[in-house]
Structure 1
C-alpha cells in the first residue's frame, strides 16, 4: 500500500510552507527527475548462481534439466572394440556400477546435469584395475574445480577445492585422473558454456513475473494505491491516527487470507487505486514467452512441458521424437565419445561406446521404417545392410 500521499499532505501544511526553502548546492539539482522504471537487474552468471536461480528457483529450468538429464542417462549403450560387440567387459561393468554409492543412471544423470547447468562435467578416476581401467568413477562438482593450464595452453592439472582443502590432479600422457567434458564456448579456452547461461535472461524474466504475482497475492491481489485524507476543516492527520491506519491496513487488508475483504474508510478517507492491472501489463503472456525461450535454450519442445501456444509439431509423438533426435542423442553421443577415448587410453585397447538406437521406444517408428527399407533392398550385400543399420560387418554381434 502507498501512503506517501498522506505525508505529502502533511508536508504541504501551512506550518511547513512557512519554513524557509532549502537551496540545492549541486549544479545538476534542477535536472534530477523521478522515473517509473530503472535498469534491469540480472542474475550473476557463475555456476552457483546458475544452479540456484535457474534450477532451484525456476520450475521450467528445473524440468528442462531433469528431462534432458534423465532421458540421456536412460539411453542404452553399445560397447564394442570397433569390430565386435562386447557384452562382458570390465568397462561395461565399470559403467554399470561406477562407484559404491551410485548406479549407472544416477552417475550419468549427474554428469549430464552438470553439463546443462555449468557447461562442464568432471569425472574422477579412482583406483586402478588389472586391466588398467579405473576401479571407480565419481562426478565432481564443477563449481569446485579449477583448470590449471600449462605452458602450451592445455590443462596440466586440475585443482578441486572444498573449503580450505585443495586436491591437485596432475595430468600427463601416462596418467589421466580427470575426464573433462565441456560444451562449446566461443570465448573461453578451458570452460564450456551451459544452456542455462544462455537461458538466464528468460529465467530472470520468468522469476520476476512469478515474484510479482506473489507480491500481488500478498497485497490482496490488487495493485497499490493511495488513501487520500480530506478533512472538513482542511487539517491533516495526527501521527497517532496515521500509525493506527497503517496498522489496521496491514492487519486486516493485506495477504491472501484477507483477499476480498471490504475496506471501511471513515473520517474523510478515500481510496484511490493506482498502477496497472495484471491484464494491462500482460504478465501471463510475458511469463509464457519466457518459459518458451527457456525450453528452446535446452532443446526441449515446449509442447512436452505443457506450455500453451506452441504448434510446431502435429502431435506429442513427433515432439518427443524431435526431442530425442535433436537434443538427447547428440548429447549422449558427445559424452559417450569422451568416455570411450578416455577409457581406451587407460586400458590400452580400443573401446567404442555408442547409443543403442534400436532400444529407444521414441525412435521405434523410424527404426522400423529403416529396417524395412534395408531388408527389401536386394541390390545391397549383407555387410552393406549391416553398415546402414549400425551393426558391425562380417556377421559379428
Structure 2
C-alpha cells in the first residue's frame, strides 16, 4: 500500500506542489477567511523576519569536515566535501546555499539538493531544487524517489524531468508525521497565520477606505438604485481613501451625515497585531527580540534571548544538517567523516565574550596563546632567539 493511500486514502505519489500539497494535508481557508501558503506567509513581516533570522544566522556559521581516528579527530581541508563548504555549486557560495536551504525547509517543511559526482565517485556539487518542482513517490522496495520537473537551471536540463533516488539527494526535513517527508509549520498552524493575514488586510483596507469624516449618509426619503449608485460613486471618488483624508464633505439633496468613526485603537487592532507577532515567533521558535520586537524587553532578557535562540532554534537545525550530510553526502564510503557546524561562530560579533572565553581556555591550559591567535586568524608569535651565551672570563 502506498504511503498516501495508507495515510490519506489518496494517490500513491505525494506531490510537493502548493495546491496538491495543501490538499494532501487538508489545508483550506482559515476561519478568518484568509488562505495560507508559503508565498502569502512571507508577506507577514514577522514570518519573513523569523525565517531571515534563522537562515541568515545558520549561513554565517563556519562548518568543518573531520575524520575520526583512535587518537581523536583531524580536520580534512582537502576532502571533496570540504571544497563544497567553499563553493557548493557554480552559482552559489556556501552561505548562499545554506540560507536558501534553511528558507526552503522553514517554508515548505523540506529542502532538496541533488548531489553531483565526478567519474571517480567524489562529490562535486550540491544543486538546489525548489520543493515546488518535486514529486515524491514511494517504491515497492520502501525507498523514496524524487521526480524533478520544471527546473530551468544549468543542472535541470532545460526543464526536462529527472528522477533521483534517496541516496542521490540531500533532503533536510522539518518535523515529520510519517518519517518520510517533513511538514511545514505553516501547514501545522494555518489559523495563526490566517488570523495574522486577516488582521493585516483589515488594517490596510481601513487605511485604503478611510474617509474623514467617516460615517453614514442619511437621505430624507426613499432613494432609487440609480441615485444610490451615483451617491456611492461620488463618495468613493471624492472622500474615500488616504489621499482624500480630511477633505471637506459637501452634501446636497437633503442628505445628512452621521459619524460612526471607529479608530484602530478602539477596535484593539493594534494590540491584536502586537500579540500576533508573539504567536508567529512561537511558531518558528524565535525569541521576539531577535525579530526586533522589544515590547517586553530588558537588558537581561535580551541577552537570554540570544542564548535561547542559539540553544533551541539553531542547535537542532545544526544537528539535523550534520546528520543529513552523514547520511547522503558522506554515505558509506566516508563513514568515518563528519560535518560540524560550529556554533561558536555566533561569538564572532561579541568581542568581549570571545576574549573572556580565550582567557579561560589559556588559564586552564586548554589552549596556548598561539592556538588562540590561530583561532583569531593571526600568525603564531615568532620564536624568541635564545640569549647569547656568556663570554668566558679572561684571567
State whether residues 128 and 135 of structure 1, in contact with CA within 8 Å, keep that contact through their aligned partners in structure 2: yes
CA-based RMSD: 3.0
Q: 2:210 aligns with which of 208, 216, 220?
A: 220
Q: How does 1:118-157 map to 2 (within 5 A)?
A: 118-128=108-118, 130=120, 132-155=121-144, 157=145
State whether residues 42 and 204 of structure 1, in contact with CA within 8 Å, keep that contact through their aligned partners in structure 2: yes
State whether residues 63 and 85 of structure 2, in contact with CA within 8 Å, keep that contact through their aligned partners in structure 1: no
Q: How does 1:218-297 map to 2 (within 5 A)?
A: 218-220=208-210, 225-230=215-220, 235-237=221-223, 241-274=227-260, 276-297=262-283
Q: Distance in 1 between matches of 2:195 and 2:31?
A: 13
Q: 1:345 aligns with which of 312, 317, 331?
A: 331
Q: Distance in 2 between matches of 1:39 and 1:301?
A: 27
Q: Distance in 2 between matches of 1:329 and 1:129?
A: 36
Partner SS for 2:35: coil
Matching residue of 2:163: 168
Q: Distance in 1 between matches of 2:328 and 2:218?
A: 73
Matching residue of 1:159: 147
The two structures have a TM-score, normalised by structure 1, of 0.73
Matching residue of 2:307: 321
TM-aligned CA deviation for residue 236 of structure 1? 3.0
Matching residue of 1:333: 319
The two structures have a TM-score, normalised by structure 2, of 0.73
User: Any gaps of 5 or more consecutive residues in structure 1?
Assistant: 1-37, 387-397
State whether residues 226 and 272 of structure 1, in contact with CA within 8 Å, keep that contact through their aligned partners in structure 2: yes
TM-aligned CA deviation for residue 54 of structure 1? 1.0
Matching residue of 1:40: 32
TM-aligned CA deviation for residue 313 of structure 1? 6.6
Q: How does 1:96-107 map to 2 (within 5 A)?
A: 96-107=86-97
Partner SS for 2:236: helix
State whether residues 53 and 291 of structure 2, in contact with CA within 8 Å, keep that contact through their aligned partners in structure 1: no
Change (3 A) 1:201 1:347: same
Q: Distance in 1 between matches of 2:118 and 2:212?
A: 65
TM-aligned CA deviation for residue 158 of structure 1? 1.4
1:180 maps to 2:171? yes
Matching residue of 2:40: 53
Higher relative contact order (CA closer than 8 Å, sequence separation 6+): 1
State whether residues 133 and 343 of structure 1, in contact with CA within 8 Å, keep that contact through their aligned partners in structure 2: no
Partner SS for 1:281: coil
Aligned length: 327
State whether residues 160 and 167 of structure 1, in contact with CA within 8 Å, keep that contact through their aligned partners in structure 2: yes
State whether residues 128 and 134 of structure 1, in contact with CA within 8 Å, keep that contact through their aligned partners in structure 2: yes
* 1:280-303 C-alpha deviation (Å, 9 max, x unpaired): 220001111111111222122111
Q: Distance in 1 between matches of 2:31 and 2:189?
A: 19
State whether residues 211 and 244 of structure 2, in contact with CA within 8 Å, keep that contact through their aligned partners in structure 1: no
User: Any gaps of 5 or more consecutive residues in structure 2?
Assistant: 1-29, 152-158, 372-395
State whether residues 212 and 246 of structure 2, in contact with CA within 8 Å, keep that contact through their aligned partners in structure 1: no
Change (3 A) 1:77 1:286: same
Q: 1:208 aligns with which of 190, 198, 201?
A: 198
Moved more, 144-153 or 73-82: 144-153
